[in-house]
Structure formats: structure tokens, C-alpha cells
Amino acid sequence: MTETYDAVIAGAGPAGGQAARDLAARGYDVVVLETEGEDEFPSRSNKSTAGTFPSTMSDFNIPDEVVMNFTDEVVLESPNHYYTRHQPGAVLEFADYKNWLVEDSREDGAEYIFDARVSKPIVEGGEPVGVRYNGDEEVYGDVIIDATGPSAPLAKALDVVNLKRERQAIGVEFEMEGVEVNAGGYADLTDAMMLRLDHDLAPGGYSWIFHTGDDTAKVGVCYIQNAAHQENAKEGFSIDDYLSYWEDKDPRLQNATRIEGEQHRGSAHIQLPGKMSTDSFMAIGDTVPTVDPLWGEGIDKCMRSGRAAAAVADRVLTHSERDTSASEMAIYDQLWHERVAPKVKTRLFMTELLYRASNERYDALMDDLSRMSADDLTEANQGNKLELAKMLRLGDAKLVFDTLKDWYRR
């Protein structure tokens, strides 16, 4: 007979791994299906810059052993200026971090099936009751969770998500050595995470250097396939071409070499989520999507979505009749908006506004940031509309109008 679990989770990333951790710690029978083989995990899915902050480290008990470098500063760059702010953080070794999630949840009894390519949900009586993988293999569960990211085979089949290709962000990153982290004319990037706004290097997006110790750093480029990208793109350039172009142009990278085998690629959708659940089912992590739209930070958001899903699963599974109806599962949607990504609409609008701005406006933005207090900047970053309004200039009127027009047209 096929075993039935309390919860079946597709995907062993930050969201799926955290959901498994929480549910296994509460004594539930949990199985996680992961596409990659155990010996290679995670290679193809090792796609994150893995920058995060102390609140995430402490809230989820992430061990120091998976940290490549603890950072002290966040630096924002424009083509001709920069802004530095003291903000402690951590750059994780993403593969070590994902393996820690697996091992930590296993210690509490979670099972993992690697080399398990999920294809579709098993539906009986109009409700999902299990998952089919590797052709004809099946596993059943009272709660089904899709944490597979943009592929979303379960969520798409159940009509829970509608991920739009035109709202997709793509990125590439290499770990490099020989990086000049304290070059003349630039901010000192020693123990810093730097994000650069410059359409010449990343049209409609941003590039980054995350210091990982000594002369090593994670260096990458990301952009959203949007109007700003199309307007500023170099003809025929791929995402790899932009990174190579930056390496040739920036004195901090001209003597740097890519570390063999340390290449990361990924994509995420930057759009408003719709519904995230239905009968016996929840979509979490980048399946929703969950990545922070403004700066691309995903670890914290994904882990919080996994925790919210585990809390809802715990609620429905402890019910005397195990009520997994759509109305009960919809509590996850509420928790997502309250605890995972509050003010998501405002942050999405900020994202569109920011990446439509010109390079000249990026230079002016650095001056604006320098004049704001730390508290006001925190409020603005969290989506406080009053503080955001204070950052606007008279010349931004057309930019705001055009962004609003496209926003409401969609």
C-alpha cells in the first residue's frame, strides 16, 4: 500500500526546507520530493546570492557555519556616486545552507526523496490528495505544498498561480577572486554588500558585488524583462554579455578571475501574487512568487512563507476532522500578506518606479539618500508612502505618471 503522509512538499529550497523543518519538529510525517540527486544537491538549484540579515539568522537559527562572510555595510552605487550605510549582514554559502536545511529537518524525522521530478498533482473528487513524480511514482498526503519555484507544476495544474513571463527577472552570478574591493574612486567594499543602479551594466535592473572575504566576492547582474530593459538594452546582449562587459569596464574586476564551478543562475517573477492556496494545497516560496521585488532578497521571504505554510498545516492537521478545505487553507494567504510580504503592492510600485528612472536620476538619488535620516530610510524601504513621497523631486512627475498609467492598465 502507498504510504500517506501528513504533508508532501515538492522542492527542497529555502521555503520547502523550512516548511519541512517546522512540520517535522512538531512531529508530523513529512516527505520532501527534490528533483536533483542527493550527491549533486544543490548544483542546478544553487542560484542565490545568499545575502541576508541578522533578523533572518536569529529567527531561523541559521548557523554561522554556513556563512561565507559577515558584512558591516550596505553600499548603493549609481554611475557616478555612491551611498554607504551601516547595516550588518551575512553572505551565505548557499549550497551549505540548503544542505543544512535538509539535515536539520531530517534529524526531526523528515524524509527526502531525491531524483524525484514532480509532474502533477493526484486529484480525487476535485481535490489534490497526492503527487505524481518520475512518470508513474506516487505519494499521498493530507496537505500538499508546492515549493518548486517558477516551474510550479502543482500550482499551475491546480490553477493557483499565473506566473507571467514578461514579469520575469533573470540573473547570473560568479564567485570571483582577485577582486579589488577598495579601489580608488569607489566605496570601500571590504565586508560590504554593494548594489549598483546603472542601465549601462544592467538595463532595467541592478548589478552587485558581495564581499566574501580577502579578495573574493560574488559578482552578478540581474534585470527584469520590462520596458526599462527594452529601452536601455544593448542590441544582441545576453545576461552573460552584460556581466562580461562590466568585468572589462570596472577597475575593481579587471584583474579578477571567475572561480571554476562557482556559477549561479536563476530567475524569479516580479508580480503581484494572486491566490496561493486551495483545498489541501499551498504554494510557497518563489512559486507564489515571494522574492522581494525591490532588491531581490529571497531567503528571508521564502523561509517566512515556509513557516507560515507550516503553521497553517499544523492548524488544519490538529483539527479533529483534519479540515483541509479551501477556506481553512486560505489562512495561509492571509498570513503571507501579514507576515511574509506586507505592503507588497507598494514595494512592487517602488520597483517599477526605480528601474524606470534614468542614470542621471540614480546619481541624484544617492544625494537624496545621504540627506535622509536612518529612520526615514528604513520607513521608506518598508513602503511608508509619506517617506517615499519625500524622496520624489519635481522632475519625477512624468516618471510617476507613466508608471501609474502602466500599473493600472495591467
Q: In the chain, what are the domain boundaries?
A: 4-47+95-163+271-340, 52-92+166-269, 344-409
Does the pLDDT value for residue 44 go beyond 80?
A: no
Confidence label for 331 from pLDDT (cuts 50, 70 and 90): very high
N residues, the chain: 410
First CA to last CA distance, the chain: 49
Q: Which cell is 69 given?
A: 562572510
| pLDDT of amino acid 2 | 67
Among 101, 136, 110, CA closest to 122? 136
Q: Is-above-0.95 flag for pTM?
A: no
pLDDT on residue 88? 94
- Residue 220 contacts residue 265 (beta carbons within 8 Å): no
Cβ neighbors of 238 (< 8 A, separation 6 or more) are none
Q: Give the pLDDT confidence of 223-280 residue by residue, as tens digits.
A: 887 777 888 899 999 999 999 999 999 999 999 999 998 888 887 777 778 899 999 9
Q: Please list the helix, strand and coil fractions of the chain in percent, rounded to the nearest 5, in that order.
A: 40, 30, 35
Establish whether domains 4-47+95-163+271-340 and 52-92+166-269 are of one fold.
Answer: no
For the stretch 50-72, pLDDT in tens is 788 999 999 999 999 999 999 99
Tell me what the mean pLDDT of segment 15-39 comes to: 97
Q: In CATH, what number does 4-47+95-163+271-340 get?
A: 3.50.50.60
Pairing of strands 127-133, 118-124: antiparallel
pLDDT at position 185: 93
Annotation: CATH topology of 52-92+166-269: D-Amino Acid Oxidase; Chain A, domain 2 (3.30.9)
Among left, alpha and beta (phi > 0; psi -120 to 50; other), residue 178 is left
